[in-house]
Amino acid sequence: MPVKAEAPLVMDDPFERSLDGLAQDLPEIAEKREFILRGGQELIDEWQIKPEFFDDKSRVVFFAALAERNDRLNESEDRSGKSYKEKEFIADAVTMLAAPHSERMDELRKVIYSADLFDESTIERAYDKYTNKQITAELQKALDEGMLDDIRKRMGVNKDNEDPFELRVLNIGQRSTMYGMRPDPPSGFLSLPEDHPNLRQYKETTKDYEMYSAGIKHNTEDFLAATGKHSVPVAWVTKGGGETHLNLPLPTAEKLLYGDEVLLGNDEFVARDFADEAQATLEHEYAHTQGGLAVDGVSFGIMAEECRAELMAGNKMGYQDAKGLLGIDIPALTGAQPLRYMESHEKGGDAAEFYTLFAGKMGIQRTLEFALTVPDGYLSDERPLQKRVNRYLGGINGLEERLYDANPAWVDERIESWAEGNYKRQSVGQWLALRKNMNGLGFVTDKMRDALTRKRTEHNWKPY
């Protein structure tokens, strides 16, 4: 009689394997293993998630948090609107996280983006049509000759570790990219005779500018229609098919290459500002081409990624909300120092390491919520799921409140000692108002203001 082999049935389950790998760095994962596996399997089945999904450690951190939430919801007796909203949140987040690695990718992408999805080849044709080959080549030469040297140095990038990317200057651009290019009238404009050479020249350059600007506007409308985009950013990076492109509108590229020659509307100091702004734009986008803290696009981790790009580019432009959250509020609420991490790591750090460290400090749930919270500029009708998720989580202030609740006495004490050291500073009130009203950072700011007021009363000090 043949002997039936009783070999143990070993299933190599990628989810379980990746989870056990993560548990070595995060004790929280080991503690919740059973619930995460139970809640996660259902999500894997329903979203038809492919095994490759689990190759990335940061994705596993986010997925583990969603799986835990799913299990808790399944076990809960609560059938109120609150639990319905939580269910919706889990579904939205899993959809955004899993879409690129799901058998249901096409269907899921349609839910993530409200715009009609254009097929890749149509979009590629539009990019080709508007690529300015000559200016692209000129700018590429300038990059090779040192235009990116400063940021390469700041990021620790050299010839050996630079991620390859292709530059693409496009004959498009929104109005703001042309600021500073309209000629200024000559002095004494109104009293100059009609045939004065300065006046003639002014009229000619103005006509040139208007034709240029009308051309760009026309191209931009056509480009948007062809690609299904709603607007053209100041500059942007596209990744796909193993390639990275750094896309720059023509006016920005010309400011970088020709400076004063195209910045006709300004005295040299203002022209310098516009040229510096173009340089900061270029550097910010370059940072996006080198590594990154966003995971699979803009749905997860864009807050940290924009902060990283700003930090690497020398902190000249926007994203004040992201910078305030990572630079001041998160350190105050948790003791974690995400900006210091970025500053001390090649290319500003690695996503898998960054989110694992983050989770070690504040837990997988807050890490998931942090990764899903976007800077204000990202809330767009083009991405309805992202918008709904951010509303549900209460944005930056909702996240801050939950971080605070984990350790209120500890945070209060730190804010108190900050106030003790700062209550005499006249300008601190204005700074707090700016944080709250312009940058939307209300939660920690309110606590700082209250503590400041208390200290001022206590020391009987009044701003003069």
Contacts with Zn ion by CB under 5 A lie at 306, 309
CB of 312 to Zn ion, least distance (A): 10
Q: Among the residues of 313-350, which ranges form H helices?
A: 320-324, 330-334, 338-343
- Dist CA 252 CA 229 (whole Å): 20
Q: Least distance from C-beta 284 to Zn ion, angstroms?
A: 6
Nearest approach, Cβ of residue 306 and Zn ion (Å)? 5
> Least Å distance between CB 309 and Zn ion?
5
Considering beta carbons, is residue 47 or 319 the nearer one to Zn ion? 319
Give the nearer residue to Zn ion in terms of CB position, either 151 or 181.
Answer: 151
Residue closest to 257 by CA, chosen among 278, 271, 273, 280: 278
168, 127 Cβ separation under 8 angstroms: yes
Q: Tell me the residue nearest to Zn ion as measured from the CB.
A: 309
DSSP letter, residue 431: H
CB of 379 to Zn ion, least distance (A): 15
Least distance CB 287 / Zn ion (angstroms): 8
Return the SS3 of 179: coil
Query: What single DSSP character describes residue 148?
Result: T
Residue 318 Cβ, how far from Zn ion at the closest point, in Å? 9
Confirm if 287 and 348 have CB atoms less than 8 A apart.
Answer: yes
User: Residue 203: which residues within 8 A CB-CB, separation 6 or more?
Assistant: none
Least distance from Zn ion to the Cβ atom of residue 140, Å: 21
Residue whose structure tokens are 């209060």: 412
Cβ closest to Zn ion, residue 309 vs residue 393 = 309
Cβ distance to Zn ion smaller for residue 49 or 167:
167
Cβ nearer to Zn ion, comparing 56 with 305: 305
Alpha-carbon gap, residue 383 to 400, rounded angstroms: 24
Cβ at position 5, least distance to Zn ion in Å: 57
In the three-class reduction of DSSP (H, G, I as helix; E, B as strand; rest coil), residue 381 is classed as: coil
Contacts for 166 with CB less than 8 Å, ≥ 6 apart: 243, 244, 245, 246
Exposure letters 39-65 (e unless 16+ CB within 10 A, then b): bbbebbeebebbeebbebbbbbbbbbb
305 in Cβ contact with 293 (< 8 Å)? yes
3-class DSSP state of 290: coil
Q: Which is nearer to Zn ion, 68 or 306 (CB)?
A: 306
Is 286 or 423 the residue whose CB approaches Zn ion more closely? 286
The CB-of-303 to Zn ion minimum distance in angstroms stands at 11
**Sheet with strand 166-170: strands edge to edge:** 166-170, 243-249, 236-240
Strand partners, 237: 246
CB 381 within 8 A of CB 47: no
Nearer to Zn ion, 250 or 309 (CB): 309
Give helix 384-393 / helix 351-372 axis angle, nearest 10°.
Answer: 80
Nearest of 123, 92, 142, 18 to residue 392 by alpha carbon: 92
**Taking a C-beta distance cutoff of 8 angstroms, is the pair 250, 216 a contact?**
yes
Angle of the 395-405 helix axis to the 408-422 helix axis, nearest 10: 110
Q: d(Cα 166, Cα 238) in Å, to the nearest integer?
A: 10
Whichever of 244 and 422 has its CB closer to Zn ion, that residue is 244
Residue 296 or 306 with smaller CB distance to Zn ion: 306
Q: Shortest distance, CB of residue 285 to Zn ion, whole angstroms? A: 7
Contact 127, 172 (CB under 8 A): no
CB of 326 to Zn ion, least distance (A): 14
Q: Which is nearer to Zn ion, 302 or 444 (CB)?
A: 302
Residue number, 51 or 233, with CB nearest to Zn ion: 233
